[in-house]
Amino acid sequence: MKIAFREIEGKSQGYWGLFAVLAILAALGVGSALYMEHHGHIVTGMDNQIVWGLPHVFAVFLIVAASGALNVASIATVFGKTLYKPLNRLSGLLAIALLAGGLMVLVLDLGRADRLIVAMTYYNFKSIFAWNVILYNGFFAIVIAYLWTMMDQKGGRWYKPVGLLAFVWRLILTTGTGSIFGFLVAREAYDAALLAPMFIVFSFNYGLAVFLLVLMGFYAGTGRALGDKMVLRLKNLLGVFIAASLYFVFVYHITNLYFTKHHGLEAFILMNGGIHTLMFWVGQVVLGYLLPMAILFHPGLGNSRAWIALAALLAILGGLAQMYVTIIGGQAYPIDLFPGFEVSSSFYDGVVHPYTPSALELMLGLGGVAVALLMVAFAVKVLRFLPERLDDETVAALHGAK
Amino acid sequence: MTQLALVIDLNVCVGCHACVTSCKQWNTSGQAGPMFDDNPYGKDPTGTFFNRVQTFEVGEFPCTETVHFPKSCLHCEDAPCVPVCPTGASYKRKEDGIVLVDYDKCIGCKYCSWACPYGARELDENQKVMKKCTLCVDRIYDQSIPEDRRKPACVISCPTGARLFGDVHDPDSEVSIAIRENGGYQLMPEWGTKPANHYLPRRKTKMHIHEDELTRADNPLRKEDIRHETSKDTTLDDWLM
C-alpha cells in the first residue's frame, strides 16, 4: 500500500504562534549563552564542585531522546514492522532535531565554545568524550542518509542497509553517552557498566515519549486523521519502555545498596539528599514512571488521547528529573578522600555541594528544546515528512501487509 | 624516567596557608595567570586555586587532634584526567612527569574534573579553561632565578619546611630518602593512579621513663651522708635539700 506524504500547510495562527514562542525561547537561550560567555561561569550556579549544571541536564536528555526517537524508524526498517513505516520519516527528523538541540546546549555550555574546531580536529581516542564527538557527527550523517533513502526513490535500495547501520549506530551512540558516566571511576554514583544499557533503555523511553507527543500534536493541529490503532500501539510500547526504565533504576540502586561502601551515596539519593531525594522519588519514580504507567495501562484512561499525551509529558519530565539526579546528584555527593574522618575546609570538601541553577542556565536548556522543535516545525512545513492520513483503515492495511 | 613531585610532611605542617597564598601569587603573576578571583575580600570569596589546605580531625572528641592536609594536583603517574580529555589538552610530560593542561587546546568541557579522584582540578571562571598545579614549571627551569630558588613557590614559602621538592624516581634524592625513612605514603593508592606526590605521616615522639630514672642513683649527698640535721623551722636548706 502506498502512503501519501504531504507538507503541512503551516499558515494557521496556531502554527505561527507556536513558531513565534519557540523562536523567542531559542533567542533567549542563545542570548543567555552569550551573556555567560561574556561574564564567565561565575554568573551561573555552577562552580568547581558542580561543573555540569542544568544545561547539561537538558543537553544529555535531548541527546539520549534523539537516539530513542529513531527507534520507530528502526522498528519499521530493521524489524520489518511495516505498520510503522509511515512514521519513519518523522522518526529520523526528530532524531536529528533533538540531537541538534542537545548539542547546541552542550557546546554553548562548554567553557570555550569558540574552540569547537579544536574538539573537531584534535582527538584523544582514549577519551569516551572524543568518541562521543565522532558518534554525534556520524549519527547526523547516517540519519540524513537514512532520510534520503526514505524520501528519494534513488536511495530506495539503500534503505535497509542504511537503516540497519543507523540502528547499530544509535545503540553505540547511547552506549557512549551512558559511558560518559559509566567510565567515571572517581565518583561513587557512576563507575558502573550498567549505565550504558540503562541509558539505552532511557533513550527508548524518552525518545518515544517525545515522538508520541510531537506526532499527536501535529496531527491534532493540522486536523489530519490519526487512528487509535497507531496511537494505542505506540502508547503500549511507551508503557513497556517506562517499565524497563524503572527496572534498570531498581537494579542500579539495589546493587549499590548491596555494597556497604555505597551506602552513604544511596542514603543521599534515596533518603536525605534534599532536592535530589525529592527529584528521585517524586520527579523520576512517581511522575516519570508510576503515574504514566498507571495512565497508559489503565483500561479507561489509557484510551484517551489527552491522558496519553499527559503520560508522555510526564515521562519527559521524569526523564529530566532522572538526568538531574544522575548528573547533579552524582556531583553533589562529595568525594570521600578520607574515609571515616570528618573533613572541613574553606572550599566544600567533605560536604554535600549546594547548587542553585540560575535563570540563564534554564533559558539555555529550554533554548535547546526550542531549537529542536523549531527544526521539526520548519521541516514538516517544507518537506514531506508526515503522512496525509493515519486513520485506522490505513493502519490496518499496513498491518495486514506484514 | 624523572618524576618530579612534592613530599609534604604532615608532622610539620601547621596549616598556615602560606603555600596557598604564595602559589596563588606566583601563578597569578606568572605564565598561567591571571587566576580568577571573585569578591576576594568580601563575605563569600571564590576563586581558582592550585593548592588548598584541608583540615580534618582524627579521633573522637575529646581525644582528637587536627591534621592539616595541603592538597594540590598529585601528578599521578597514571593520571585518570589525561585519558578522558577529548582534545588531548590534558597531558603528562615525558621528561619530568608533570601533568599539565594546554590552555590553548582546552575546550572547557570539565570532564577531567569529574575524572580526578582527588578533586584537584579547577575551572578558571574567567578564562573558562581547566587549571591545576603546574609544579611551577615556569619557575623550576628558569635560568634567571638563582639555582637554589628554582623550586615551586609553595616549597620556598613554607615557613616550617614541610614541603620538599624533587625527583621521586631518583633513590638518592632528598624526597626519596624522606619517603623511605619516614614512612611516606600516597593519597588513596587503591585507585592505582600512583600519585607522585607523597605525604609523610604524623609522627609522635614518645619516651618511656621509669620512675627509678627520676631518682638520682649516684647522688653524692646521699652517698657520703653529709647532710646535716636541720632545725624544725623552715630554713633555706629545706628548699635546697
Indicate which of A177, A331, A346, A356 best probes the interface with B, i.e. most B CBs within 10 Å of its own CB: A346
In which residue are the cell numbers 521539526 written? A376
Identify the band that residue B234 occupies on the pLDDT scale cut at 50, 70 and 90.
low
How many CB atoms neighbour CB A225 within 10 A? 14
CATH (domain of B140): 3.30.70.20
Pairing of strands B65-72, B90-92: unpaired
Question: Is residue B217 predicted with pLDDT exceeding 80?
Answer: no
**Interchain proximity B129–A111, CB inside 8 Å:** yes
B213 against A243, higher pLDDT: A243
**What kind and span of H or E run contains A158?**
none
pLDDT of residue B126: 85
In a domain, B219, yes or no: no
Chain A residues in contact with B84 (beta carbon < 8 A)? 126-129, 183
Identify the band that residue B220 occupies on the pLDDT scale cut at 50, 70 and 90.
low
Chain A residues in contact with B38 (beta carbon < 8 A)? 42
**Interchain proximity B114–A115, CB inside 8 Å:** no
In a domain, B238, yes or no: no
Count of domains for chain B:
1
Identify the band that residue B229 occupies on the pLDDT scale cut at 50, 70 and 90.
low
Indicate which of A48, A125, A261 best probes the interface with B, i.e. most B CBs within 10 Å of its own CB: A48
Q: What string of pLDDT tens digits covers the 402 residues of chain A?
A: 678 898 888 889 999 999 999 999 999 999 999 999 888 888 898 888 899 999 999 999 999 999 999 999 999 999 989 889 999 999 999 999 999 999 999 999 988 888 999 999 999 999 999 999 999 999 999 999 999 999 998 988 999 999 999 999 999 999 999 999 999 988 889 989 999 999 999 999 999 999 999 999 999 999 999 999 899 999 999 999 999 999 999 999 999 999 988 999 999 999 999 999 999 999 999 999 999 999 999 999 999 999 999 999 999 999 999 999 999 999 999 888 877 777 766 667 778 888 999 999 999 999 999 999 999 999 999 999 999 988 888 888 877 654
Size of interface A-B (CB pairs under 8 A): 135
Over residues B9-16, mean pLDDT: 94
Domain holding B40, by residue range, is 4-200
pLDDT of residue B184: 95
Query: CA-CA distance, A196 to B89, in Å (whole number)?
Result: 26
In a domain, B239, yes or no: no
Over residues B61-90, mean pLDDT: 93
In a domain, B153, yes or no: yes
Q: Which residues pair with A226 in a beta bridge?
A: A390
Calculate the average pLDDT of chain B.
88
Pairing of strands B122-123, B198-200: unpaired
Q: Domains of chain A (ranges plus CATH)?
A: 5-401 (1.20.1630.10)
| CB nearest to B123's CB, from A48, A180, A331 | A48
In a domain, B10, yes or no: yes
Indicate which of A187, A338, A342, A348 best probes the interface with B, i.e. most B CBs within 10 Å of its own CB: A338
**Interchain proximity A184–B86, CB inside 8 Å:** no
In a domain, B220, yes or no: no
Query: Among residues A77, A71, A87, which one has the least CA distance to residue A3?
Result: A87
Using DSSP, state whether B36 is helix, strand or coil.
coil
Using DSSP, state whether B55 is helix, strand or coil.
strand
Q: Does A117 touch chain B (CB under 8 A)?
A: no
Shortest distance, CA A326 to any CA of chain B (angstroms): 13
Query: CA-CA distance, B73 to B70, in Å (whole number)?
Result: 10
In a domain, B236, yes or no: no
| CB nearest to A343's CB, from B48, B56, B89 | B56
**Interchain proximity B114–A184, CB inside 8 Å:** yes
Q: Which residues pair with B6 in a beta bridge?
A: B165
In a domain, B9, yes or no: yes
**Interchain proximity B54–A337, CB inside 8 Å:** yes
| CB nearest to A110's CB, from B46, B49, B107 | B107
pLDDT of residue A32: 96
List CB contacts of A265: < 8 A, sequence separation 6 or more. A188, A189, A256, A333
Q: Which residues pair with A6 in a beta bridge?
A: A386
